[in-house]
Amino acid sequence: MIQLKEIQSKKEMKQFVTFPFSLYKNNKYWVPPIIKDEIESFDKTKNPVFEHADARFFIAKKEEEIVGRIIAIINNHEVEKQGIKKMRFGWFDVIDDIEVTKALLSKVKEIGLQNNLEYIEGPVGFNNLDKTGVLIDGFDHIGTMITWYNHPYYKDHLEQLGFKKEKEYLENKFDFKNVDGVYYSRISNIIKKRFKLKPLNFSSTKNIMPYVDEMFDLFSKTYSKLSTFVPISDAQIQHFKKKYISFINPEYIKFVVDEHEKLVAFAIVMPSFSEALQKANGKLFPFGIFHLLKARKNAKDVTFYLIGVHPDYQNKGVTAVIFEEFYKTFSEKGIKNCIRTPELEENEAIRKIWENFNPIIYKRRRTYRLDI
């Protein structure tokens, strides 16, 4: 018999967070989170995302053994201000038993009906900065710290229960050697002169901080037309600034400004922490922090996390300025592989940014929808 238990205590929350550690034990492609950070991200007193979102956490048990988990999420801004009557679910993990999946998703559906919502979509997070999508192809590639990994049967469970494809996301990678530094230097110089632009590079985190709010404003302008866009609050921006910016290599953050020092483009790249997180196995101490710091300094793979260009400068070659600066930095650091975060299949603009690098699609993921 399957029993659903709603998380009420710190002990139960730790069980919720650590369940995937047993589900993916000895899986060389799964990348574990830091347990303490994951628990804190679900703390409604610490994460400002809960100012605009409601979430309920559930685990499924069979004979006292945890066999599944899920978060039922309502983004109130999305529902009330954008008029999108969506019931979200995320952090979905389950054994290969469709009855467990059915029990978890039935609870999500029940909550959606109680709140007069029209459909379920997932797996998704609270907003655009969260992980998204169930992996449907590319199971034999290591994950990243900003994506979910899952077993192949997740897709089958969802489709057997009547869920249909809602959005598809592509994950690409390319060899750094595919980047023609001479070409981007030439194009960059033309673009800088034509539009009176200049790049900003950083060697310390404190010099980046004054630009972060403006960067997120530009992020919103860049992505607001996408169907998946949900605004990010000022409190969430401050939380992101405090938690993540300080841990990203400052030389991996590139800005482009106009003649009035207004931000027109940005990109954030992170060194790959995947193998370091596997070695840490969910714990920063005593040794996990050293693995992460080593990766921060020495990783030869990088992940393009965020990139944005002001609508007035899109399709005008401004990304050439960014890529020229990254080329210089990556050459110095001996970077070998460039990995991109999941991008909407329908996002033609972002695809054009990368087309000269001969990218390879090596993973696909989807969100699924069920009308209720």
Are 331 and 181 spatial neighbours (Cβ–Cβ below 8 Å)?
yes
For 242, counting Cβ atoms within 10 Å of its Cβ (0-12 exposed, 13-18 middle, 19+ buried), the class is exposed
Say what the pLDDT of residue 285 is: 92
Say what the pLDDT of residue 222 is: 85
Say what the pLDDT of residue 111 is: 98
Which CATH code, of 3.20.20.70, 3.40.630.30, 3.40.50.1860, 1.10.260.40, is assigned to 174-363? 3.40.630.30
Q: In CATH terms, are 7-171 and 174-363 the same topology?
A: yes
Say what the pLDDT of residue 233 is: 83
Tokens of 49: 């995302």
Residues 6+ apart with CB under 8 A from 193: none
Q: Where are the domains of the chain?
A: 7-171, 174-363
Say what the pLDDT of residue 182 is: 95
Say what the pLDDT of residue 237 is: 80
Q: What are the percentages of helix, strand and coil residues in the chain, rounded to 5?
A: 40, 25, 30
The domain at 7-171 falls in which architecture?
3-Layer(aba) Sandwich (3.40)
Say what the pLDDT of residue 114 is: 98
pLDDT means over runs of 10, the chain (372 residues): 96 98 97 97 94 96 96 95 95 98 98 98 92 98 96 98 97 95 96 97 92 91 77 82 82 97 96 97 95 95 93 93 97 96 87 88 98 96
